[in-house]
Every structure is written in C-alpha cells, then in structure tokens.
Amino acid sequence: MLGERILRLRPTNAMHQLGVTSRVPLFNLTHLLDGLAQHSLLWVTGIPHPACLPGVLRAASHLASPVGFALKPLAADPDVLKEAKPAALFHAAVQAAEGIQRPVPFCLHAEAPAVDGLDGMAFDAVRSFVGTCVQVGYTSFGVDLRACDEDRAVEVARGLLGPVMELELGVSLRLAARGEDLSSRADSLDKQIRNLLRAEMTPRLFVIDAPAELGEEAWGMVADLQAGLPQGCGLAWPSLRSVDRAGTRGLCDSLLVALLAEDSLERRFPDAQSLADPARLEALSYFEALDMIEDLGGKQALHRWMQQVGQI
C-alpha cells in the first residue's frame, strides 16, 4: 500500500531495527502529523496489554487513519522504568503490523516521567530509559517538565533529548500551567514556551493540561497559545478524561493536533493484564478504537496523508 519512497522516510533507528526490506509502516511522529487531514487529531494511545495492539491497528486500517502507541512509565524510578520493557512493546507493535494485510502508518512514543532537575538518580534513570528507547526503535519522545522550575526546564529538556534531536525524531514537551487564574496560567505557559524556543528547544508538540486538570478554560487557552507558536509546532492534550463522547466533536474544530499518550484504553480495560482471554481484549480494543478514531475525525485521513508525505 505504501510506496518505497514513503517507506524510506522511516527514521534511521527504526530502519536499523526493521531492516530495509520491512514493510512495517513505523514512522516519525512529525511525519504522521505533517500529513494529517484537517480537523482530525492524531490518536497516540497507551497500551494496557499487548493484545490491544492488533485490535487498534486493525481498526485504524479499516478506517484508514494513522495512529500512535505510547509507553508511559509512571515514575522516574529505575525499577519502574525497567519494568516498562520498551523492547516488548516495540516487537509487539511490529508483530501486530505484520499480521495485518494493510497496516496504517503508526509511531511509537515514549513518554518519560517528570524529573525536577539534572541531579540525582531519577534524571539518570530517565536519561537511560530514553536512550534505550532510541536504540530499540521508538520514533517519538515526550519529556514532562512540570516538575521543573522555569529556569531549569531548558537544561532538563536538552539533557534528556540530545540523542533524540540529533536523529530528528518526534519530540513533545509537557508544561505546567502555573497560576491562580486563566490570565496567570496563560502567561506562565507563554513564558515557558518562549524560554524553550529561545534556547532552540522547539518540539513538534507542546502538551498542556486538558479540561480534566485545568477546567474549561483549557479550550480558550489553546487558541491563544497556538497563535504564538512557530510554523510546524502544535499543541496537544494528554487525554480526554473529562470530555464525554459527545464532546469530542468539538475537538475537530479546535487547534489541537494530537491526543498524546491518551489513556482511554487503560481506563476502559483497567484489569487488562489479568484478562484470561486475549482474543476478547483484542476484539474490545478494536471497537473502542473504531469509536475513538471516528470521534476524532481520523476516518479516511490516510489518502491525504500519503499525498502530503509523498511530496517530502
């Protein structure tokens, strides 16, 4: 389905793992976003169990929509990061794609836990985790800067993302909206973004708090912040936790471009690891993904994606 010219766009680290003859359409987050149809958001979902992967990929294939998968360790602790097993998710995603007749383009996103500075075991553990994911073949990386004060955020981002930026992989930075009211929170985000841009730490996505954390004012904040971003840089929310299914239609008219590390599958199947029947979990994930992709305007986005990306 995807021509040789498009498949050559795979990042070097992913190409090294897959081999040049592989037809698995694993791509950079940036390329997935560059070809996205208007009024559709890229869905990058956490995976509570490997059996969810083929279900989501099959749904994305049937709806012709690019998609992403996220690995999200919850704490910057060496044992927690070791248990995350990035290689296992990589190989499960590749196997799932190989088992589908026409898999859609997807990315693998590693969302690093928050650290508050360059010192200590937490930073070293997260840096090692990011390095492992680069070697394994992940094509997108997120750094959570919410625990950093504004003066240290740049050095933390640079310290963790050096190898990622050298390979020109997808980058997202999650920021905290600090303040007591809408105005102060917007000013805080704007200041953080400008500091990072001045330091040439320009990600593909800035991730900001969604209505679940920030309240309804998050909607208006998106438009104000997007107006000040450089071309090619967009905004994302981490989840839709507080937005019901009927409310997702409004997202298609917003300036958001991604739901990054969205955790709807983990909320839908909280006991996925103990499920006795992986086939049932795969089927349930398929139907959940159908609903989510349609709600986010992703249906039939693939044709446009191939046209746009094929011109690069």
pLDDT per residue over 234-265, tens digit each?
Answer: 999 998 876 665 566 667 778 899 999 999 89
Q: How far apart are CA 139 and CA 133, in angstroms?
A: 9
Strand partners, 67: 106
Model pLDDT, residue 242: 65
User: Under a CB-based contact definition with an 8 Å cutoff, are residues 117 and 152 in contact?
Assistant: yes
Each residue of 174-230: pLDDT tens digit?
Answer: 999 998 888 899 999 999 999 999 999 999 999 998 888 888 888 888 888 988 899
Domains of the chain: residue spans and CATH: 4-309 (3.20.20.70)
pLDDT at 119: 84
Ranges in the chain, pLDDT < 70: 1, 242-250, 274, 276, 312
Alpha-carbon torsion angle 18, 165, 302, 93, nearest 10: 40
Name the one residue in this structure whose structure tokens are 């993302």. Answer: 161
Q: How big is the chain, counted in residues?
A: 312
Beta strand 140-144 with 42-46 is: unpaired
What pLDDT is stored for residue 210 in this prediction?
85
In the numeric block, which tokens belong to residue 264? 């709807």
Q: What does the CA dihedral 142, 147, 153, 157 come to, rounded to 10 degrees? A: -30
pLDDT of residue 8: 86
Structure token pair of residue 166: 């050298």
What local confidence, expressed as pLDDT, does residue 57 receive?
Answer: 97
For residue 307, report the phi and psi dihedrals to the nearest 5 degrees. -65, -45
